[in-house]
Amino acid sequence: MTGRMLVLGHGYTAGYLTPLLLAQGWQVTGTTRECVERVRATGATPLRWPGQEDAVRQAMAEADAILISIAPDEGDPVLATFTDDLAKSKAGWIGYLSTTAVYGDHQGGWVDETTPLTPATKRGEQRVRAERDWRELADQHGLPLHIFRLAGIYGPGRGPFAKLRSGQARRIVKPGQIFSRAHVEDIAQVLLASIRQPKPGAVYNVCDDDPVPPEEVIGHAAELAGLPLPPVEDYQTAPMTPMARSFYAESKRVSNRRIKSELGVRLLYPDYRAGLAALAAAEGV
């Protein structure tokens, strides 16, 4: 499958998917609010949205694949603007980037794609509603929807080394807290594998093999960089923004078996050690 890809919300993750698609002969168009040059730098054709709605509709009508990478608020902004256009889409693959926050808190237990959705945060609740709305549209119009629930994203420019060097890195400890994470290059290869093997209605967790406490990741990064360990801060008393604190409201281990069994994905960075080692080499740490 090759052709024309439209990315609604061409941000960090799409910046790694686009070169993979271009190498396979795809043409990629991506919407952005402001970062036109950043989108163009990846090889994609940028469109401003809001602003160029007619051009977006034309790209949507011509697209062979569509990726939605925009977070919902009280509703999904893509559906609010383009529901009628999406209903007429002839795309052979539509992907929606969601989050593992839809599962809520499982006190460190394992979740997979069949686990009931019991979000513990407003962010998770918004994603559950957005997934539901996308499913309803897909069911009504026979759209080939694929949902990807992403764990915490890291990668070049989003690693811990800059914060460690500036003294802004923190080791906040909440006993029993477990996170899953995903390197952005692995997210991109999962999306590419799904585009090559469409399975309408599929849901995939995207994460690595090794969910661990967040302070363990910061500690290992400090060792790699030869920098002092940030002092331990207790979650109960540590000053945090509401958004930062919301991430500690949930503790779970996320299973990635389905991306391996159905898509044949072999992770480039199966754990945070491999991912941080690559970032350290790239950044000259």
pLDDT at 25: 97
CA-based R_g, the chain, Å: 19
Structure tokens at 235: 């979650």
pLDDT digits (tens, 9 = 90+) for 42-61: 999 999 999 999 999 999 99
> Which of 262, 12, 1 is closest to 112 using CA atoms?
262
Structure tokens at 248: 């500690």
pLDDT at 45: 98
pLDDT at 103: 98
Whether pLDDT at 1 is above 80 = no
pLDDT at 118: 97
Domain 4-158+181-208+255-268: top CATH class: alpha beta
pLDDT-derived band at 277, boundaries 50, 70, 90: very high
Separation CA 2–CA 48 (nearest Å): 24
pLDDT at 162: 85
**Mean pLDDT over all residues of the chain?**
96
Q: Are 159 and 282 in contact (CB under 8 A)?
A: no
**Percentage of the chain modeled with pLDDT above 70:** 100
Separation CA 13–CA 2 (nearest Å): 20
pLDDT at 245: 87
Q: State mean pLDDT over 62-83.
A: 97
pLDDT digits (tens, 9 = 90+) for 229-267: 999 999 999 999 988 888 899 999 999 999 999 999 999
Structure tokens at 136: 């309803």
Consecutive H or E run containing 206: strand 203-206
pLDDT digits (tens, 9 = 90+) for 191-226: 999 999 999 999 999 999 999 999 999 999 999 999
pLDDT digits (tens, 9 = 90+) for 125-170: 999 999 999 999 999 999 999 999 999 999 999 989 988 988 889 9
pLDDT at 284: 85
> Which of 98, 142, 99, 104 is closest to 121 using CA atoms?
104
Domain segments of the chain as ranges: 4-158+181-208+255-268
Separation CA 17–CA 130 (nearest Å): 23
